[in-house]
Amino acid sequence: MEPKKMYIDGEWVTGSMEKPFDVINPATGEVLAQVYESSVEDTRRAIAAAKKSFYQTREWRDMDSQTRSDMILKIADLIDKYADELAMLDTLDNGKPLREAEGDISDGIHCFRYYAGLCKTPHGGVYEVNDGFGKMHSYETREPVGVCAQITPWNYPFLMSVWKLAPALAAGNSIVFKPSPKAPLSTIRLFEIFEEAGLPKGCVNLLQGDAEVGTEMGENTDVDMITFTGSTRVGQSLMKAAATNVKKIGLELGGKSPNVIFADADLDGAVEWAMIGIFFNQGEVCSAGSRIIIEESIHDEFVARLKKKAEAMTIGNPVNNPDIGPVITEKDMEKVLSYIKSGIEEGATLVTGGERYTEGECAKGYFVRPTIFDNCTSDMKIVREEIFGPVVSIQTFKTEKEAIAMANDTVYGLAGAVFTSDITRAHRVISELRAGITWINCYNPTFNEAPWGGYKMSGIGRELGVHGIEEYQEVKQININLNPGIVGWYEKIVNTWTVLVYVIISQTLILKFTSRYILCHLHTQGEEEA
């Protein structure tokens, strides 16, 4: 098998180490492909190529909006052309059911088309300003940030790549990109599409590797911006690295999101959406509704229905479209199982699941049964820490105030949902949730047009929507003097000082003359009296 190459300065290269690593199919445990690993030297070459592309050759940066938009639309059309291939790559590489991968590719197509449109929309503003210095015209423009380093996770390999690449390209930046080494194949294919579409040399560069590549991207002073989606721990390290030149940064990090269900909610709907919230993509979703917080009076009925549906889920090879596929690696599977063990040890009630699934064709894959824990308390690890697998905890509440307090009892603030038939209560509770992405009577729908990002330790900045392209732009203020010429500011100062000096001298002379007059008058008067 020929290892996949990295893409630097318009060329597919093996890298300085010429060292490939294995990409594993999580459904079978077998080697799916090999990819050349990037070194720090390769990373610096890619950054230099992006810098040259942006600051010297400037072909993509200076391209007019219509031409750039047409190019991005061409990329979208090519993705559409290869959609089946891309979906299969994500399924084999990541383990998500094929229908979910197909949905990701479709969303990616529309994301590129959305930002192709934003290339041409009006932006900026004009400001009414005072005339203290004469008549002025003040306005703003938006410009590309420059060299953007981007790092994506493995849970949505293709879609997360698109979420970063589409707005960054639409804004006119040059890019150095690193996908997760656990699932890089669809992103490699996307860069082949970039080449086919005819993107200018150096404006997109693809690296492969792990921590040292990401660290160099963060620390390198030729990088103007770094964006990252992944764990909070890695995000914190990148923030420290980015401080070297105070580069712009965007972070979409972990979550431990609450799903609050009131007694007046549509119970069947709440159960189904709770399933989507936690078991979609094997629970490997940063916004997963991993904490169900339910009103005490409907707890028993809800848990019974959720258990029945979870146990009815099909598990199997993702190419056959089961309800749930494998988690990404054996190591990640063991991590999920360790959390399940801790939940049992800390006294939570295991309702269903809780073990590896090894039946039939799944014997060698990394499958975990959908797992439900009941009677959980806020101090348990399974309630406080992000598991990133098909594991949900259930807690109960009696009052709305208690529900809000439990929902916000986390260091994270990515997402959250409220289920109730009382729309007033829905808005009231949603407004109290400290989270960036929220839903009422549903869970997990995502839209290219709407911003995505979190509060607290869930990150900085927003992806998607208008906010998504603004993240990759700098705002410049421009002020124009409408009456060019001499302002007279310093002349006024000079004249003021002249007058002041004149007054002082005049007063001194007058005082001196007056003194002499008085002395002379007194002397004359004395002589007359004598």
362 is catalytic: no
Helix (H, G, I), strand (E, B) or coil at 220: coil
β-sheet bridge partners, residue 205: 176
Give yes or no for a contact between 279 and 426, defined as CB atoms under 8 angstroms apart: no
SS3 of 86-154: HHHHHHHHHCCCHHHHHHHHHHHHHHHHHHHHHCCCCCCCEECCCCECECEEEEEEEEECCEEEEECCC
Give yes or no for a contact between 435 and 288, defined as CB atoms under 8 angstroms apart: no
Give yes or no for a contact between 214 and 234, defined as CB atoms under 8 angstroms apart: yes
Cα 302 to Cα 320: distance, rounded to the nearest angstrom? 30
β-sheet bridge partners, residue 148: 175, 225
Cα 382 to Cα 434: distance, rounded to the nearest angstrom? 20
Instruction: Sort strands 367-368 and 412-413 into parallel, antiparallel or unpaired.
Output: unpaired
Closest CA to 172 of 196, 201, 143: 143
248: left (phi over 0), alpha (psi -120 to 50) or beta: beta
Structure tokens at 410: 């986390």
Return the DSSP state at 215: H
111 is catalytic: no
Cα 366 to Cα 337: distance, rounded to the nearest angstrom? 11
Cα 146 to Cα 127: distance, rounded to the nearest angstrom? 26
User: Going edge to edge, which strands form the sheet with 126-127?
Assistant: 126-127, 136-144, 473-481
Cα 393 to Cα 410: distance, rounded to the nearest angstrom? 14
Phi, psi of 139 (to 5 degrees): -150, 170
Phi, psi of 477 (to 5 degrees): -90, 130
First and final C-alpha spacing in the chain: 132
Q: Which of 252, 295, 463, 471 is catalytic?
A: 252
Q: Which residue has the tokens 């949603």?
A: 430
Cα 70 to Cα 78: distance, rounded to the nearest angstrom? 12
Cβ contacts of 56 within 8 Å, gap of 6 or more = none
Give yes or no for a contact between 376 and 383, defined as CB atoms under 8 angstroms apart: yes
321: left (phi over 0), alpha (psi -120 to 50) or beta: left
Q: Which residue has the tokens 């997990």?
A: 444
Q: Which of 148, 286, 362, 376 is catalytic?
A: 286
Residues annotated as catalytic (active site), given as ranges = 252, 286
